[in-house]
Amino acid sequence: MQFYKVPGIIQHLFKAYTWHKDRNLKTVYLTFDDGPVTTVSDYALKLLNDYDMKATFFMVGDNVSKNPNLAIEINREGHAIGNHTYHHLWAGKTPLSVYLEDVEQCKKVIFEKTGIETKTFRPPFGWINRRYARHLSQEYEIVLWDVISWDFKNGLNPRVALEKVKKHTENGSIVLFHDQQKSKKNLQEILPGYLDFLSAEGFQTALL
């Protein structure tokens, strides 16, 4: 079954991670994973600018190396940047030392290209075990999400996805989108309607 809202029991079991922010504030935290990627990240940037909204981009270091000007533009436009490893590694199949080195490599390339020292980390595929997290939490806030758009999924019905994401959005929600080629078509069909919804409902957006 495809969950657009992370079940509360999961959030409770792994409460050391950030799943959402203050439920008393009418604020949503937009996040984009896997970029920066040309024609996708810049599309999201333009749309965010049109709506005067801010987001946090969890960047893959290799994509920063390939598209440094996009990373610079994201920073210049006032958005936040987080660490998403250099090679988009899955912790479940990567030795700890290799994983930590990859995170450090991502941190270095983001700093070299943008001058930003990343303080937030999101594990690729949304999975990390407690041992790896103990090491990373000494330096990073480990940020997951409570609402996911599934924009990367083949065969997704974007109209249904949009309605589901809107339905599950609440105060403090951290909402996951992707700025990668695989998600481009779905993102273009979901994101405008979602930003319309946030604006109409009076939600503010903020950085992580």
Q: What are 57-91's pLDDT values in tens digits?
A: 999 999 999 999 999 999 999 999 999 999 999 99
Domain ranges of the chain: 8-205
Question: Which pLDDT belongs to residue 205?
Answer: 98
Across 117-121, average pLDDT: 98
The average pLDDT across 158-172 equals: 98
The conformation of residue 15, written as its DSSP 8-state character, comes to T
- Collect all residues with Cβ–Cβ distance below 8 Å to 183 and sequence separation of at least 6: 34, 40, 151, 152, 177
Q: What's the burial of 104, exposed, middle or buried (CB within 10 Å: 0-12/13-18/19+)?
A: middle
Q: In sequence order, what DSSP letters do the residues of 39-64 get, joined into one string? A: TTHHHHHHHHHHHT--EEEEE-HHHH
Determine the topology of domain 8-205 in CATH.
TIM Barrel (3.20.20)
Mapped onto helix, strand or coil, the DSSP state of residue 204 is strand
In this prediction, residue 1 carries a pLDDT of 59
Positive or negative torsion for Cα 127, 183, 80, 166: negative
Residues sharing a CB contact under 8 Å with residue 68, sequence separation 6 or more, in sequence order: 113
Helix/strand/coil for 24: coil
CA atoms within 13 A on the CB side of 20: 23
- Tell me the mean pLDDT in the region 120-149: 97
Percent of the chain with pLDDT over 70: 100
Q: Hey, what are 52's tokens?
A: 């005067």
d(CA 149, CA 153): 9
The answer to whether residue 142 scores a pLDDT higher than 70 is yes
Compute φ and ψ for 194, nearest 5 degrees.
Answer: -70, -40
Mean pLDDT confidence for 31-50: 98
Q: Cα separation of 187 and 95, whole Å?
A: 33
